[in-house]
Structure 1
Amino acid sequence: MRVAAVCKDGTGKAVVKSDAFTENGVFNGTPKITVKTSATAEPGKYTVSLLCGGTTVSAATTLQITQGRPPLLR
């Protein structure tokens, strides 16, 4: 999944995070990054937050996962 963001003071310290991601996305001076959704994320709505300056939520949106992981074979 591609994420694009620009903070008021630049993107150097911006982080995007969500429980749906495998890890937080860090903007290292670029306005776009790629993050992976977790293979274990169940279908549903997940909040995606942009933290400018590393601590304060500056923007938020929702990510809808419509298909979960395949069932385990037993």
Structure 2
Amino acid sequence: MFGVVVVTGEPRRILKAGDRCDTRNCGAAAYHRVLFSKGLLDFCHHHYDEAPDSLLAKAVYEIDESWAI
């Protein structure tokens, strides 16, 4: 059975200030977290937009906090 979750008020970030992009030599703040069956990767908005569709198609779950930019 599926339910409805209603969120009121200002949204809260799940990703913290210390969460950084996992792309080599980037180090920017992460605004996207992609969970795969064997782990997860954090991306800044720039590198998330560059991620190949084949990579994102393998995602089990994704957190998109680009609204906080």
What TM-score do you get using the length of structure 1 for normalisation? 0.27
Greater strand content = 1
Greater helix content = 2
